[in-house]
Amino acid sequence: MLKEGQVRIPSGCAISGMMDQTGAVFTGQKIADSIATMHDRSNGLGGGFASYGIYPEFKDHYAFHIFYNDLQSRQETEEYLKANFVVAFEEKIPTRKIPQITNAPLIYRYFALPKLEKLNDTELTDDDFIVKFVFDVNIKIKGAYIFSSGKNMGVFKAVGYPEDVAEFFKLESYSGYIWTAHGRFPTNTPGWWGGAHPFNLLNISVVHNGELSSYDTNRKYLEEFGYVCTLQTDTEVVAYIFDLLLRKQKLPINLVCKVIASPLWDQIDRMSPKEKALYSSLKIIYSKALLNGPFSIIVTFEDGFVAINDRIKLRPLTAAQNGDMIYVASEESAIREVCKNPEKIWIPRGGEPVVAKLKQTNTNEIYESKEVTA
Amino acid sequence: MSLNYLTPEFKVIRDYDLCINCKVCMRQCANEVHSYDEQLYKMVADDFKCVNCQRCVVMCPTHALTIINHPQDFRQHANWSYDTIRDIYRQAETGAVLLTAMGNDKPYPIYWDKMVVNASQVTNPSIDPLREPMELRVYIGRKPDKIELDENLNVKTQMPPQLKLEVPILFSAMSYGSISYNAHASLSRAAEKLGICYNTGEGGLHKDFRKYGKNTIVQVASGRFGVNREYLNTAAAVEIKIGQGAKPGIGGHLPGEKVSEDVSETRMIPVGSDAISPAPHHDIYSIEDLSQLIFSLKEATDYKKPVGVKIAAVNNVAAIASGIARAGADYIAIDGFRGGTGAAPKRIRDNVGIPIEFAIASVDSRLRSEGIRHTVSLIASGSIRNSADIIKAIALGADAVYIGSAALIALGCHMCQKCNTGKCNWGIATQDPYLVKRLNPEIGYKRLVNLVTAWGHEIKEMLGGMGINDIESLKGNRLMLRGIGMTQKELDILGILAAGE
């Protein structure tokens, strides 16, 4: 039987995300409590978290979180890493032994910057240098998998229920201003640590509840731009689509959302000439970046996140605001668990993004299309 | 030739209990199979002349007629088959190339039928097209890498010209000359009604159909028939025809007897003169030459229309397509070896080229590996028989499909494969005014609209089953296909997994 990573695994899931728009940090206990509420939306075969703002002492370094199957893959990766990077600090990621999490790989983290001469040799930007390094390790070094590669952020994931993963990684000891979480429900796999969410590339991380029918179309489109999908897991393409459109092509986040969950042609046909030109061009140029099939996703960046459903809302998503805190989750219960009485709570419509941003970087309030009483 | 060793191919069986001697069969048959025997007081048939077009069978008011394959056969021989022996007799008599029509009928594997389509169950809900929106609209044309916007979100990108299709189906190139005025009238009107395009083929654009310009693709073939600035600018797109699936590597020949006054005016050639399309374009002997023609046509149309290139599916089709994309084509139409035609040498029709299934998969893969797939559109053709073939073609990598034979069958074609004789009893592949009238364009257009509408519904149903609500998300989505009964090599070229994987 092919193992996960060699085959695509359909899965259900739960997602939760929260952010303090002032940039104030809070511990991982809150997100763990939130995602634990949705225990039954997972089956113990994958859980994970992403947090932003957790490494202030190394905020300018790329933080690589790496799984190793064995010492040989670690040695091989570290040689490659140190040939290309100046490593400021490295350590085994602290974990707690608990009976619920077993068969853990070796889990290390490295805070590193590209060596200038290596960077100059490649004629790549810093970020593209990192992307190449991540793909190289994940494709070429057997038994090694870089699952987090951003700055001042980190992904923590494992095979297990998300609340157990939080305990395993001691997330109560980390403090960040954005936290996202995922509980996974794969249907035909023994589970793989790398297959758990979030998926990450540079500072973009994604948690996903659903399954992308368009995966193969998206994957092939991305390959044309140099992305390599190594995981055969549909969510991987979301991270790369956002990296391509947001980071490389510099589209505004709201328009990226209109690519992945585009307006229908019927709607575009009724738009004003200016809007029609914009949305029809987006739809024609990026038709293969449309995400089809059921999804509710939270895509996180260093200064905020966006939560969005597929166009016909085949998966649940609820959003809430309380003061400077923004919450999104698959179920309202996951929000009320950590915020009893939010000022606003609503269910976003299919394809309508909830965008939350740090106040110092963008004064825009959260974006919502239409409030629906929850 | 005094000796003819051939026996009839078909046998006309008449139920004399039902026959009322009304002579409809006699009037309907352009091949003069039926006649009334004044001495016997009954209708009789000359089996030799029958082509099994079934016009008489359908028109007989009492259903008295049946046509069957003639039971007379040769002694059984696995190597020297009935067709093989007959072909030798025919060539021994005539010394001529054997002509035939309407597609390779040899029993090569049909790979469409060795592929099955996915459907969602539980983990990913299927989508009900009766309740949810389904999008089949596609745009054919070159796509830029990225969108450029100004600070007010005005689009700065100069979008290359696009051909808008409400369903991913176009009517294949069929020239005025090879098919009738009424067939063209049906196709052009149906294309307008359906929001798709039909293709004039290499025969020029009849003045009556210029009003359907926005739904017309005009061809520039090696004969350059009917090509002028007005012709190019009337159309929605221009297509350079290099080859076609039914006869790759050879030219075309419309016999002078088919060049009527009307055909003459449309093709811009003298009445009664043979219209010879050379095998090559005499100004294209390299990919650079093709590029120059593409840009000449873009210049002539002010860069407002997509310019495509049609080629036959042949051995190195992926490399050829890559060159064409780099030569500036906005779309590439690839025609498989089962593609239909009005007339082709039988040996070429039956033995040259490759199946469209492999061609489209290998072209899509090649363009993708070169990072240029998203810049050019692909149209697949060559015996697209139903909506499932379309789903599979798009999943293998096509943006849209051309349908030719299927459209003609919708108009009444019964696949007698005798288009080359010009005696099409259904009024389709003929210029005989008496026969042309048999195809009522009002009825023909409705039948085409019905066919494509029905296929559109079926495509939506299958898309919904896959959990997809936009045809764009099926393009190149080969995970939606599984192969049955294929070798690993065939699966690898098609880029699909075996059923059960």
User: Closest Cα to residue A190, out of A46, A35, A14, A69?
Assistant: A46
CA distance B290 to chain A (A): 25
Q: B-chain residues within 8 Å CB-CB of A187?
A: 122-123
B124 and A293 within 8 Å at the Cβ level: the answer is yes
- Residue among B469, B478, B494 with most chain A CBs within 10 A, to mutate: B469
pLDDT at A11: 54
* B413 annotated among ligand-binding-site residues: no
Contact B368 A224 (CB under 8 A): yes
**Closest chain A CA to residue B368:** A224
* Chain B, window 441-480: residues with a beta carbon less than 8 angstroms from a chain A beta carbon: 466-470, 472-480
Contact A255 B132 (CB under 8 A): no
- Counting Cβ atoms within 10 Å, is residue B179 exposed (0-12), middle (13-18) or buried (19+)? buried
**Residues A2, A192: contact at Cβ < 8 Å?**
no
Contacts of B147 in chain A (CB under 8 A): 249, 251, 281-282, 285-286
CA distance B137 to chain A (A): 8
- Which DSSP category does B111 fall into? G
SS (H, E, C) chain A: CCCECCECCCECCEEEEEEECCCCCEECHHHHHHHHCCHHHCCCCCEEEEEECCCHHHCCCEEEEEEECCHHHHHHHHHHHHHHEEEEEEEECCCCCCCCCCCCCEEEEEEEEECHHHHHHHCCCHHHHHHHHHHHHHHHCCCEEEEECCECEEEEEECCCHHHHHHHCCHHHCEECEEEEEECCECCCCCCHHHCCCEEECCEEEEEEECCCCHHHHHHHHHCCCCCCCCCCCCHHHHHHHHHHHHHCCCCHHHHHHHHCCCCHHHHHCCCHHHHHHHHHHHHHCHHHCCCCCEEEEEEECCEEEEEECCCCCCCCEEEEECCEEEEECCHHHHHCCCCCCCEEECCCCCCCEEEECCCCCCCCCECCCCCEC
Q: Which of A10, A265, A292 sits opposite B473 (nearest CB)?
A: A292
pLDDT at B359: 98
Q: Which regions in chain B score pLDDT beneath 70?
A: 1-2
Q: What is the pLDDT of residue A233?
A: 77
Which two tokens mark A70? 């064995």
pLDDT digits (tens, 9 = 90+) for B222-238: 999 999 999 999 999 99
Alpha carbons B172 and B335: distance in angstroms, whole number: 10
CB contact under 8 A, A214 and B468: yes
Q: Nearest 5 degrees, angle CA B386-CA B391-CA B394? A: 125
Q: Do A217 and B133 touch (CB under 8 A)?
A: no
**Touching check for B372 and chain A: CB below 8 Å?**
yes
ipTM of the complex: 0.92
Residue B32: is it exposed, middle or buried by C-beta count within 10 angstroms (0-12/13-18/19+)? exposed
pLDDT of residue B123: 83
The pLDDT score that the predictor gives to residue A44 is 87
List the one residue out of A312, A182, A301 whose CA is nearest residue A235: A182
From B143's Cα to the closest Cα of chain A, the distance in A is 6
Separation of alpha carbons A321 and B7, rounded Å: 87
CA torsion through residues B461, B465, B467, B473, sign: negative
Please report the pLDDT score of residue A371 as a whole number. Answer: 41
How does A167-196 read in b/e, with b if 16+ C-beta sit within 10 Å? bbbebeebbbbbbbbbbbbbeebebbbbbb
B333 beta partners: B310, B379
Nearest to B133 among A11, A226, A266 (CB): A266
Give the per-residue pLDDT at A1.
43
Q: Among A8, A277, A311, whose Cβ lies nearest the Cβ of B479?
A: A8
Q: With an 8 Å Cβ cutoff, is B157 touching chain A?
A: yes
Residue B105 · residue B52 · CB < 8 Å: no
Q: What tokens appear for B431 in the block?
A: 């210029």
Q: What tokens appear for B458 in the block? A: 């079926």
pLDDT tens track for B426-447: 999 999 999 999 999 999 999 9
Asked if A274 lies within 8 A of B154 by C-beta distance, the reply is yes
Yes or no, beta carbons of A264 and B133 under 8 Å apart: yes
DSSP B176: B
Q: What is the nearest CA distance from B410 to chain A, expressed in angstroms?
A: 29
Instruction: Say if the Cβ atoms of B479 and A216 lie within 8 Å.
Output: yes
The radius of gyration of chain A's CA atoms, rounded to the nearest angstrom, is 20
Which of B 100-129 lie inside 8 A of A, CB atoms? 120, 122-125, 127
Q: Considering chain B, what is the average pLDDT of its residues?
A: 96
The values of phi and psi at residue B160, to 5°, are -60, 155
- Dihedral (Cα; B458, B461, B465, B469), 10-degree rounding: 110
Residues 6+ apart with CB under 8 A from A199: A205, A206, A208, A231, A233, A235, A236, A238, A239
Q: How far apart are CA A53 and CA A110, in angstroms?
A: 16
Quote the strand ranges of B390-465, DSSP E.
400-403
d(CA A155, CA A162): 13
User: Are B147 and A311 a contacting pair at CB < 8 A?
Assistant: no
Q: Is residue A13 annotated as a catalytic residue, yes or no?
A: yes
pLDDT tens digits for range B137-169: 999 999 999 999 999 999 999 999 999 999 999
Distance CA B94, CA B460 (A): 51
Name the interface residues of A facing B (CB cutoff 8 Å).
2, 8, 10-12, 187, 210-211, 213-218, 220-221, 223-226, 249, 251-252, 255, 262, 264-266, 274, 277-278, 281-282, 284-288, 290, 292-294, 311-312, 314
Supply the pLDDT for residue A370.
Answer: 45
Phi, psi angle pair for A109, to nearest 5°: -135, 150
Residue B56, annotated as binding a ligand: yes
Question: CA nearest B419: which of B173, B52, B101, B9?
Answer: B101
**Which residue positions in chain A have pLDDT lower than 70?**
1-12, 187-190, 231-232, 361-374
B214 touches chain A (CB under 8 A): no
Report how far residue B418's alpha carbon sits from residue B434's, in angstroms, rounded to the nearest whole number.
18
State which residue of chain B sits closest to A185, comparing Cα positions. B123
